[in-house]
Amino acid sequence: MDNQRQSGSDLVYLVLEETLPMIHTALVSYYGFSDSEAETFKDTLAIWFHRVGRRANGQLPSSSDLREQLAFVACKYARALQLTKANSGLPVETGFAESLQTSPEEVAFALLNRMELAGSPS
């Protein structure tokens, strides 16, 4: 059981290490986050993801499913944050207004495809 927990935790670190750089790029270049906003967002995402790794009593999904969850949640909440900003009258750069029209699933899948093409995940 301890070994299982250890390998689950290793898997979570591995997926984070592989996926966070791509997520950072999407946050900044697609959703219009500043660098510091993107860093804070990623820290929050990492705390959440470590707890996801401990859900369901160690019966972790595969690394590709975990990566999918991470990318999807990142895009869903990044979009929601920018929408909240826009709705509350805070400035959102015009170039990013269009990105908010795209569904987070679409953005997440594009992100995952790019990762696959880059050959990073095993």
Partner 1 sequence: MSGDLLPFPLASTGVSTSEARAFADEYFASSRENRERRIEEFRLENAETLLALCQLLDKRVESGPAEVLEAAELAYSFVSHLPADQGSFLFDERDYYLGELALVAGCCCRVLSLRQNCREWLDYAAGWFLLTANSAGDSARVSYQRLALYMEERNLVAVLEMAGPILECFNRTGARELALKCRYVQAAAMREAGQTERALEAFEQVCADARELKSTRVLGAVFVALGQLYCEMGKSDQSLKLVAEAEPFLRASGDKVALSKLHWGVGQLLQSQSRIQDALQAYRASQTELLELKMQGDVAALHLVIADLLLETGQDRQAEWEIRAALPIIDELKMVPEGFAAMSLLRESLRRRTIDRGALRKVHGYFEEIGS
Here's the x/- map for partner 1, 76-115, by CB under 8 A: it reads as xx-xxxxxx--x----------------x-----------
Q: Which of 44, 51, 119, 114 is nearest to 78 (CA)?
A: 44
Rule CB under 8 A: is residue 3 a binding residue for partner 1? no
Nearer to partner 1, 106 or 118 (CB): 106
Q: What does 87-112 look like in DSSP terms, one character per residue? A: HTT----HHHHGGGGS-HHHHHHHHH
Rg (the chain; Cα; Å): 15
Residues near partner 1 (CB under 8 A): 1, 40-41, 44-45, 47-48, 51-52, 54-57, 59-62, 65, 69, 72-73, 76-77, 79-84, 87, 104
